[in-house]
Each structure stands twice: as C-alpha cells, then as structure tokens.
A and B are shown apart, each in its own frame.
Chain A
Amino acid sequence: MLFHTWTFFVFLFVVVPGFLLLRKTRLWIPWLLLASYVFYGWWNPYYLILVAYSTALDFILVALMDHCPRDRPAIPLRERVAHPRFDDTVLKVAFIVSAVGTLGFLGMAVAGLPTLRPTMAVLTLIFGLMAVGAFFASRAVWLGVSIVNNLAILLFFKYAQFLVENGNALLARLHVHATLPDPASLMPFGAAYVLPVGISFFTFQSMSYSIDFYRGRVHRERDFIRFAAFVSFFPQLMAGPIERASHLLPQFYEFPKITSRDVTDGLSLFLVGLFKKLALANYLSYYVERVYDNPKAYGAPALILGTVAFAWQIFFDFSGYTDMARGIAKLMGFNLMLNFNNPYLATGLGEFWSRWHISLSTWFRDYLYIPLGGNKEGTFKMYRNLFITFFVSGIWHGANWTFVIWGLLHAFGVMVTRELEHSAFYRDRVPRLLKQLGVFAFVCFAWIFFRAGSMADALLIIQRIFTAGWTDPQMPLLMLAIIAVIWLYQMAYESTLRPVLQTGYVRVGLGVLMILYMFLCSSGGGAFIYFQF
C-alpha cells in the first residue's frame, strides 16, 4: 500500500478513528499492530511471516539476555561443561527447548520434506546457537543470534542471488565444475523468491533494539504486542526512518496526547511529502528513465541533466516518503526522527551524510563505525573504518557492484573534504556556494553508479559525458524551472531570508500552490525508490 494512493486514504480513515476510539482501552496498541500488518500484508501477506518471525525472535532473545546478569564474569568453557547446572529456570527451559528444537530441525533438515530442508537447516543453526547461549548464559551469544538471524534474513533475500552469481562466475574462472544453488530453489513449498519490501528497514530497527539492550541503552520491553507494534509501525515500516527503540518504543507506553498542533503539523508534513512524490519525483523520473534506459542515444548535456534530475528525483522520492511517514505518525501523536535536512546544501561530504538519510547514517555510525574504533585510533584507522562503513552502506542499498562503488566513492569524498577542511584556505576563503556546488557535483557523479543498471552502463554514461557531442538535451523547461525554484528556496531557507519564508502569507501561498499543482499536474503513481531496499 502506497501513501499516495486512495487505498491508503481509506485505510487511514479506518485506522485513525479506530485508534482514537480505543484510546481509553488497552486495545490501541493491538489495533496499531493489526493496522501495520494489514498495511504490510497488502503487498504480500506471506512475507508477514518474516516480519513476525524477526520480531518474535528479537523479543525472545532480549528477554533471555535479560536473564543473564550483565556484570557476571564469563564462565570458562571447561568449567561450564563440567558443571552443567542452571541457576535460572528460564534459561534452563530455553536450553531444553532450543536443544530439542535443534535436534528436531536437524532431523527435518536431513530427512524432512525436500522443499523444507534449507529452511530447517537455517533454523537448526539459529536454535543451535540459542542452545549455546542458554548453556553459557551468555548475553554476547544471544546478541550474536539476533545479529546472525537478522543478517541471515537480509543476506538470503537481498544478496543471495548476487552472491550466487558472483560465486558461480568465480568457480567457472577457477575451472571448478560446480555451481551454487539458485536461491529460489531454497524457498519452502516453492514460494516465489522476491525481495520483501522494506526488509532492510525492519531488520535494522529490530536489530538495533537487541544491540541497544545489550549495551544497556534501552530497557527490556516485556509486552510482545507493544514491541511488535514498534517494529512494524506502519508509517515507517517500508522505508524508514529507521527508529531506535530508545526513541520510538517509549512513545507506545501510553496513549499519545494528540494536540491540534500535532494534527496540523502532521497534515503539513504529509502535504509536503505528497507534493514531493506526486508532483516532483514522478515527473523527474520520466526524464531520468528516458536518458538512463538508452544512454547511447544521448549526448553529454542530456546525460548530465539526467543525472542531476535523478539526484533530485531520489531526494524528492525518499524525503517525500519520509515526510509522509512522519506526518502520518504525527497525526496519531507519534514523533519520528528527521531523516533529511536539505542535503544538497551541504558544504562537505561528511555534512552531506549528516543531512541525507540521517536515520541510516547514524545507524551505521553507532553500530558499525564507532564499534570499529571510529576516529579514536588515528587517521589511518579512522579512514579504514570510514571505508568499511561506506562499503557496508553501499551494499545495504543493493546487491550490485554499482552500489559498492557508490559507497566507496562517498567514503573517498568524505576523506577528501575532511582533509580539505584542514586547510585554512579551503575553510575560510573558498565561497560557501562553490563548496556546495562541488559537493553537489560529486554526489551527482556518485549517483550515476547508484542509478545505472550495471557497471558497464555507469562507465558508458561517464565516458559519454566527456566524449559525446553537445546535442540538445530536450529536458522540459518546466522541469528545469521546478528544480531551480526549489534549490533557490532551500538556499533562501538557510540564509537571512528565512524569516520571510516563515511568514504566514508565504506558508499559506505555498500550501495553496502545492495543492493546486497536484490537482492540475500530477504525474500519476509509482512506487517509492527506497522500497527496493
């Protein structure tokens, strides 16, 4: 279900009144959970199993982690094996269940229905690890199980095809007469192998809860329905923002106080998001598709403008989704984090990443970059950590080498701009606008890899930008005008002109213009780009 469809409006007109009607009961959380599952299941009801499984496992793992004292010293392996006694009944039961489960799943993996064997093998591994966790009463093992489980889901659904293709290519190059199995053949009961929408978002959100609990940053949630509602909260389930348990989960403790300001703020955010998606992103997408689907046919200006159009398309598309998500949540009294903050006005690549997809970049910062050592261990290790983080970030966006290159280019860009900032000349003498244009140009260059269908296409586009003739790009003037106006608006917002934009007349005028434009000029529907991630 997409936010900008009539179906969603009907859905919302059922969900919000129901939510308000149930405010004095304990049923508002189950209602939100039900709504979220309907919202997700509308796309593919079978993959609800995946959301529910990921939720349930992390809930259980954290509950078990809670039974392992944080400050207890680790028990040596030999001693633990020599004295297999459980002080905690829950852990004892968990061990028995996990051990029995492991054996059961192992049996089914070996001799069960052939279509179920791969799934059973994975469950054997997960339950086996859980048995180990229970046996050693180890928080670290529980955390490991959570991470392995979430990454395994991601790995299988998102990266298996990529890994198999590359693995098979490698085997062929090494003259090994073997092939890796097609991931589709591993699906239980022959179910279709398709990428579950928003898988990278809900797995990361669920996983952050386990990690934060392990680090003592969040409390254990004892109510499963509340936790499930947090993981699957429908406004941000499909494409974020990736919320932290410490921020969103407490908002589920009591019915939110909804003020008229929440409603007007929610509607404002939704309007802006809808405008970005319907009026801007969809319009730009047609030009981008035209150029990127047939790059050989276009000269340098069209390829450059197509890339610039893509930069704005993906911004409008993703930030539009986020605005709508935040607006819908706000209508119900929930606050979701800011995810975009005029990224194309950044003066450095580091700043760009503090403005673009903020929930993801802070996720990687907190759960990868800092655990790797961050910038505390010297320049070399800092850049090593940076490259690792951006490599993973690239892969997170998609199973393709183009995404890896995109991530590494950004790591390189961050490194260069950070070094440039050390120079007083760059810091103080280079005009802000020039820095902004430089960053924008670099980001656009990196977007070529992000948007191109393949590495060959990306390289072809870059080659043609520098070698093809300067033919008429035929980019509609209306499109160029829209991009220019919005860029200027953003610049004005971050300048001394901001108070003018904050006046009631300007806001009302813009609100009217946006609504009228959408009525008159919408370019139809289309899914959000980030759903594929």
Chain B
Amino acid sequence: MNPPQKSPVTDTPFVNEMRLNARQWRLVAGIVVVLLGFTPWVWKKVERFDTGPDYRIPYSLSKDYWLYERRLQELPATNAVLIGDSVIWGEYVLPDGTLSHFLNQEAGRPDVFVNAGVNGLFPLALEGLVEHYGGALHHRKIILNCNLLWLSSPKADLSTQKEERFNHSRLVPQFTPRIPCYRADASERLSALMERNLPVLSWVNHLQNTAFNQRSIPDWTLEQGTGEPPAHPNAYKNPLAQINLQVPTAPAQDSERGPASARHKPWATTGEGTTRFEWVPLDASLQWAAFQRLAQLLRARGNTVLVIVGPFNEHMMAPENRTTYRLLRDGVAAWLKDNQIAYVVPEPLPSPLYADASHPLTEGYRELAQRLRKESAFTNWLSTP
C-alpha cells in the first residue's frame, strides 16, 4: 500500500452563502462597533430620565446597573452621595421618608444629599457596583452605610459552604476572592465579567429592565399570564412599541411602603421576638473584607468618605448576643479610625422606630438625620472643602 497522502480537500462547501471575506468582515465589525459603541451614548441623550429631589432608583430597576451609572454621572459635583443597601434606599419608607430626605431637610436645601442606595446591595455587590458602574464617584463627598446585618450569619456573609442564591450575583467577585456559596459555572461568571466591561451589554440589560419586564425581547413575547393553559398577553404585540424612550418612575401609590402601608410598623408589633444572631468575626467575614476594599477604593478616587455604622436594632437582639455585636461594631470603628476614615456610630434608635433588624421607619430616619447633624464627625466631614 502506498504511503498516505495529504487530503485533497481544500475548500469548505457553504450553504446559503453567508460567507464574508476579510474586507466584508472589517466592514461588519466596523458597523457593529459603531452601532453598539454609540447606542448607549445616544440612548442617554434621547431617553427621558426624570429624577428631581428625593429621587431613588425604582425598586423594579434595582438591577439596572447601567441606569445607576447614568444616575451618578448626571449628578452635580456638589452633591453628597449616600450609598449602601436598602437602609439607605429606604425599604419601608417613601422617598420623602429616607435618610437623604431628612438630611436635606436638616441642611435646609433639597439637593445636597442624594439617595444612591440600592435594594439588597450587600458589601460584596456594592464593591462591584462602585468599581464597575460608579466611575462618577470621584472627588465627592460620600456617605457610606455599614450595615452589620450582612455579618449576622455565615449565610448573610456568603461565607457558608452550602450553595446559596442571592441578589446582585453579577456584581460580586466572580473568581477571586472566592465566595464559597456562589456556585455559578465558569460561563456564567465570565458572562458577568463581560457585562461589566462591555457597556452595551449593561445597556441591553437596561432596555430589558425598562421596556420588557426584565426579559429579553423573545422571552418577553413568550411571557406567561394566567389561566389554564396560561394566556400569553404579549404574543401578538409589537416589541418595538414597548420602547417609549422614558425611564419608568416608581408608582405614585406604593402600597408596600410609607406610613400608610401595612408593612410600615414597629418590629415589635409584627410578633417577631428577639433573635440570636450568629455573628461572623471580622477577620473571617467576606462582607467586611469587601467593605474595607470598597472604602479604600472610594478614598483612592479622591472622595471624602464618611461611614455610618448602623444603627443596628439592638433591641431585637437576645441579651447574650449583644456583647459579640458590640465587639464587632467596635472592631469596625477601630479599623475606620486606624485608616483615618471619618465615621459615626450612632446610638441605637428607640425600639419603635425600627421596622426590623436594620431598617428604620420614617420617624427613625428623621431622628437619625437629626442625630447625625449633631455629630462633630459629620459636621467636620460636611465642611471639608
């Protein structure tokens, strides 16, 4: 038998002729880059985004990080920005019941303090949000809330080994530092990295959030309603008609929040008893480590940072649990002091002013704002040029 020969096959048959040559590929790449690169930029110019005093990102847009970035970019440089989780955002209160509102009230102007809190944004996610979408946070005055609720158990700290599903997973560190309970596969993690680094992907997410109920357009056409078999209300709708070039605002009547809502009541009246928290030591806490990195990042960007530690609802704690908590709180304060970061550790608010372990009610925020105004650390921070 003769020695083997190289294959005579040199070409690949094509079907349907979607066969681009090098020049055509360059053209395609050019058009796509221009379109995808400029669309988010153009979108900012043409999409109406009504904010105003006491504005906060609507609850339904909590995961619209592109909008968050835009919000920060559009803030005047003189505004002091409050960042943190739902304690800053105001889980149980209306926009005029938040900490930023009452701080503005104390300041006598409606636009000094800006609510840039996001629901469910624990430190590991907040770090990612500020790092990737918070580029506008530089050379500003920033109030950073340190909510020790995120250290109240290994589960809240995300340091448990058991798999957990949690909000804002696309913001947390995807590879290092390792979060043991985060078990997304490599592809999902890489996809999150790509989303952070390609603005167009965040913009697509924005579009889905604002026009298509947080779904892709095809998924939106398949959205399920009620009935058996379920109705599909969007099956025959024109998807393009959903895009109205206006960022949705929060509903005028929010039955979930504000003094008139059923949720807006002191924690003790909900039948919830005292709780024993499984506090995670600072040196073992992933959330605390993320908070430390975040504070350093904000400072490295030239911001003047003030950290408000708590105020946690100590009334809710089992008595034997308080010592550990206070050690933790003091450890946080000590680290802030060592790193010359301004901070305030407010005394706990009266018990009836809390809705749960960490969220004040409207009057609680008012009281907290008043107390802060009296703190020298706060006034010094505010008067810093």
Contacts and interface: CB of A to CB of B under 8 A. Distances in A.
A250 B221 contact: no
Interface stretch (B99-107, B128-136, B212-220, B253-261): B212-220
A507 B18 contact: yes
Contact of B15 (A248, A254, A340): A340
A502 interface: yes
Contacts of A290: 222, 229
A269 B19 CA distance: 7
Contacts of A474: 231-232, 235-236
B300 interface: no
B226 interface: no
Contacts of B32: 512, 515-516
Report which residue of B3, B12, B14 has the largest number of chain A beta carbons within 10 angstroms of its beta carbon: B12
Interface residues of B, number: 54
Interface in A210-250: 216, 219-221, 247-250
Interface in B14-70: 14-22, 24-25, 27-28, 31-32, 35-36
A431 interface: no
A168 interface: no
Interface string B334-353: 00000000000000000000
B367 to A, nearest CB: 47
A143 B20 CA distance: 44
A519 interface: yes
A93 interface: no
Contact of B218 (A248, A283, A516): A283
Interface stretch (B82-90, B111-119, B183-191): B183-191
A219 B7 CA distance: 12
A520 B9 contact: no
A512 B20 contact: no
Interface string A427-458: 00000000000000000000000000000000
B28 A523 contact: no
A475 B28 contact: no
B250 to A, nearest CB: 26
Contacts of A269: 12, 14
Nearest to A522: B216
Given A264-B22, A265-B19, A250 B4 contact: yes
B17 A507 contact: yes
A213 to B, nearest CB: 10
A477 interface: yes
Interface in A494-533: 498, 501-502, 504, 507-508, 510-512, 514-516, 519-525
A330 interface: yes
A261 interface: yes
A474 B204 CA distance: 26
B369 to A, nearest CB: 43
A326 B11 CA distance: 11
A524 B17 CA distance: 26
B12 to A, nearest CB: 5
Interface in A291-323: 294, 297-298
A267 interface: yes
Interface of B: 1-7, 9-22, 24-25, 27-28, 31-32, 35-36, 185-187, 190-191, 193-194, 200-201, 204, 207, 216-219, 221-222, 228-229, 231-232, 234-236, 239
